[in-house]
Structure 1
Amino acid sequence: MRGFICLVYTLLFSLSLSASSFAGTTDWQTLRQQAKGQTVYFNAWGGDPAVNSYLDWVAGEMKQHYGVTLKVVRLADAADAVKRIQSEYRAGRKDNGSVDLLWVNGENFHTLKQAGLLKEGWAWELPNWRYVDQKKPVREDFSQPTEGAEAPWGSAQLMFIGNAQSGMVFPRKASELLAFANAHPGKLSYPRPPDFTGTAFIEQLLIVLTGNPEALRQPPTAANLQQVTAPLWGYLDKLHPLLWREGKTFPTTPARMDRMLAEGELLMSMTFNPAHVDNLIGRKQLPATAQAFGFEQGMLGNVHFVTIPANARAQAGAQVLANFLMSPQAQIRKANPAIWGDTTILDSAMLPPSLGEQLNAQKPAHLQTVPYLAEPHAAWVNALEKEWLQRYGAK
């Protein structure tokens, strides 16, 4: 009985956590009152059943605890919502917009922010911001300062996946990856860019190989593009002949690589979700000896954000929703591999001990933790993909 009472207390405490430290903050209380009764249209990627199920749960919590009706607009591509926002502004629709909250990637955020189409300065004022892990890149997106125009709600990191059976030692540096490929010809590959994970792998190599990493924080120029990327192309010229099918063709998706790993056709796969290997093991698609690992100096990581268009009709409700998405209750549930397995953006050390323990309990069991490496400026993505396709895409 005592355990049940403690559980109930913890859940109630997590729900009230945002208000407990801000009970005297008139702005937050006013915002909550304004949000009550509003309908929030949250435009989010709808391509994953786990994500969809999680957002259905969020909708129930928002209705029950905040009086906010959440309508999830499931997108195949966030760019569709960006085009809609742009079209509304061109048509003179400066308020009462159709998008209240948007799950946005770095490129789309940059597009909207540069055009002045986002509400700024709100995210850092939310009560649950104080629990966010500031060691993660939560104040910038693709090297662009967010200026409080985005609220983080999850994070991701490029990781390799391998089966550690038979004592196999996996590479922890770029030089070791090349040596590993040489020792196991035809057993490595990566998704063909512009697949997101394939491009992330190219970015990862660029970050650790270039002699000018600071240049990656700004858009590439005609003067520095070749100089910054030369070590990358030299490395890939050596790596590709050692890959699956001699690097003349590439798997189309990370999911295809997962199957090839399970069947023994490859020795490594890759993912942008550190909990993915636990999910594969749980579904018995990989043995319990599988693990996620990365380079010792770090792996490319990012934070996914939500943002509010400047013409959103339910701005108060959108902020209350963004705050809930950062709450310990929502983050603990989202981090559970059985529900979604999305990595938290909270610092468990900043939470009350009971909640910190619950959050830590959701960490993937088959993961070797490595530091986060910040993403290059968004403009490097197109430049790298274009050059990669010219060099290797026609083979």
Structure 2
Amino acid sequence: MKNTKSRTKQMLLASTLAVVSWSSALQAEDAPGMFRSEFLKGNLGWEDVTAKARDEGTVNFYYWGGSDIINLWVDQVATPALAAEGVKLNPVRITATKDTVDVVIAELAAGRGEEQGSVDLVWVNGENFYSLKQQNALWGAFANRLPNSVNFEWDESDPRSLLNLRDFGVETGFQEMPWSGEQYVCSVNRAHVSAENTPATFAQLKTYLEANPGKFTYVKPPHYLGNTFVQSVLYAHNPDGTGAAPYQQSFEEMGGEELARLMKPGIEYLKSIEPLLLGGASGKPRYAENSGELDNLFLNSEVHFNCKFGVFGNHNGLITGAYPEQAEEMIFPAGNMIKNKNYLAVPLNSPHPAAALVAINYFSSAEAQASKLKTAGMPVGLDLWRLSEEETAEVAASAPPHYGVTQQQLDDNIAPDTNASLVDVIEATWLAVIERKDDKPLADIVAQVSGELNN
């Protein structure tokens, strides 16, 4: 009898402790950071994530809002799709992603920790991702844990996984999910430039400008479009003939003297074409401040070429009237057309992290990506070989046309982006040499600007 009573007491005690433990776990799950901790440990199923997302109700999505057709897709396609999953998408349209990154970092510095920030989800790549990672301001390794992660190649032994695992040469660590893929593509106005006179190399561009001075310019660094043009010049003028390869190293690995040596021929080229650029004859070359200004110059025939990121930029320019009617894509610079992916990241202090994950999972679906491609001309970020035949066909049917080139030609001339730790140094060097006309030895300039950036 005593043993029976003893066993009954033990069972009651165990049951009570289990209820207390279960109740405490439920309370703990709502504590700031607990959801993140349990998800990253693999202790939560997707149904737990979606349930919490519905409770959170909202996701604050910060993204560059300068494209009307992307905004249209967000409002008319993504917003109702997420509403059907119980999440209200709040699009926060920004002009500079760096400003949002600065907000996140400032909030964390002010003590607004996990689930206490204002940004749930941000569209990033390159320097902005690097800044968040350097400041330990990212939520964690979520990308390969979402249901739609199957649409991406994560196997590092497969070279096709490179753009998923590295962002501007920096390891992503699964802390961002690819959203789109872009390539630096130039367009030419066939009303002024024949196919025979279309440059494919920087030497040919200079020859064209000698005969047609003032009919080219590029976006001014530190704008990312200007940085990209400069980087492609540096690749093409690499004195060792190894193109982009050494620029995949970090600044710490390469060192300032080696970077200056590699940059020197490219910087000399940029100096040599200044008098040939738009306004160059007056001694004051005019660099476009942004993509919109360059579009206007191109539309009005003030320049004959328009170089910027956008695999389908020519198509989008034609249908929106931003490009001249005879605009076509061109292969330039041959072999050095920089391609990268852009991504969706969750800040460490995201106030609605589960809703952010649900939104990213939707954005990573073949259906959403095909719809975004068809509506906004925004290339898919997922990897086609990971999709079903039906999904691949849906994406192919959604792709806008090319003009003057084929997708295969664009693919055949891809170059990787520059390591994020080099980008600031290169842009600061351009500002010193090209804008401020600093004539010190290039190695001294690189040493100076890199020292200032590190202080």
The verdict on a shared fold, with TM-score over 0.5 as the criterion, is yes
Letter of the 2:342 partner, please give it. H
1:72 aligns with 2:91: yes
Distance change (3 Å), C-alpha of 1:271 and 1:320: same
Task: Give, in angstroms, the shift of residue 135 of structure 1.
Answer: 5.4
Q: 195, 212, 215: which one pairs with 2:246?
A: 215
Q: TM-score, normalised by structure 2?
A: 0.74
Task: Give, in angstroms, the shift of residue 328 of structure 1.
Answer: 1.1
Distance 1:185 1:287 in 2: 23
Cα deviation 1:68-96 (Å, max 9, x = unaligned): 22222222322333233223323333322
Cα deviation 1:285-330 (Å, max 9, x = unaligned): 4225522433331411221111112232322221121111111111
Distance 1:390 1:95 in 2: 40
Q: 380, 391, 398: which one pairs with 1:344?
A: 380
Matched with 2:329 is 291
Distance 1:88 1:124 in 2: 27
Task: Give, in angstroms, the shift of residue 100 of structure 1.
Answer: 1.7
Matched with 1:81 is 100
1:128 aligns with 2:166: no
1:235 aligns with 2:269: yes
Matched with 1:37 is 55
Matched with 1:256 is 293
Letter of the 1:341 partner, please give it. G
Letter of the 1:266 partner, please give it. V
Letter of the 1:168 partner, please give it. A
Distance 1:123 1:232 in 2: 37
Matched with 2:81 is 61
Task: Give, in angstroms, the shift of residue 182 of structure 1.
Answer: 3.3
Does the 8 A contact of 1:274 with 1:364 survive in 2?
no
Matched with 2:195 is 168
Q: Stretches of 4+ moved more than 6 A in 1?
A: none
Task: Give, in angstroms, the shift of residue 123 of structure 1.
Answer: 0.4
Distance change (3 Å), C-alpha of 1:94 and 1:71: same
Number of residue-to-residue matches in the alignment: 368
Matched with 1:204 is 232
Q: 313, 321, 325: which one pairs with 2:351?
A: 313
Does the 8 A contact of 2:280 with 2:286 survive in 1?
no
SS in 1 for 2:59: strand
SS in 2 for 1:36: helix
Q: TM-score, normalised by structure 1?
A: 0.84
Does the 8 A contact of 2:232 with 2:337 survive in 1?
yes
Matched with 2:180 is 154
SS in 1 for 2:229: helix
Distance change (3 Å), C-alpha of 1:95 and 1:359: same
Unmatched 5+ stretches in structure 2: 1-42, 154-159, 438-455
Letter of the 2:246 partner, please give it. A
Distance 2:60 2:320 in 1: 33
Distance change (3 Å), C-alpha of 1:29 and 1:204: same
Query: What is the percent sequence identity of the aligned residues?
Result: 26
SS in 1 for 2:266: helix
SS in 2 for 1:244: coil
| Residues 104-113 or 86-95, more deviating | 86-95
Letter of the 1:273 partner, please give it. G
Distance change (3 Å), C-alpha of 1:245 and 1:312: closer
Distance 2:132 2:125 in 1: 11
Does the 8 A contact of 1:37 with 1:69 survive in 2?
no
Matched with 2:419 is 377
Does the 8 A contact of 2:277 with 2:285 survive in 1?
no
Q: 273, 277, 284: which one pairs with 2:314?
A: 277
1:304 aligns with 2:342: yes
Task: Give, in angstroms, the shift of residue 136 of structure 1.
Answer: 6.1
Distance change (3 Å), C-alpha of 1:104 and 1:293: same
Cα deviation 1:154-192 (Å, max 9, x = unaligned): 122111110345742322233333333334333222222
Does the 8 A contact of 2:200 with 2:332 survive in 1?
yes
| Residues 172-181 or 120-129, more deviating | 172-181
Does the 8 A contact of 1:136 with 1:345 survive in 2?
no
Distance 1:334 1:136 in 2: 23
Matched with 1:99 is 119
Distance 1:197 1:154 in 2: 17
Does the 8 A contact of 1:136 with 1:303 survive in 2?
no
Larger Rg: 2
Unmatched 5+ stretches in structure 1: 1-24
Distance 1:231 1:150 in 2: 35
Does the 8 A contact of 2:143 with 2:174 survive in 1?
yes
Distance 1:374 1:264 in 2: 31
Distance 2:90 2:70 in 1: 14
| Residues 52-61 or 367-376, more deviating | 367-376
Distance 2:419 2:94 in 1: 25
Distance change (3 Å), C-alpha of 1:84 and 1:237: closer
Letter of the 2:219 partner, please give it. P
Distance 1:124 1:181 in 2: 48
Distance 1:290 1:206 in 2: 25
Does the 8 A contact of 1:156 with 1:272 survive in 2?
yes
Distance change (3 Å), C-alpha of 1:243 and 1:91: closer
Letter of the 2:202 partner, please give it. A
1:179 aligns with 2:207: yes
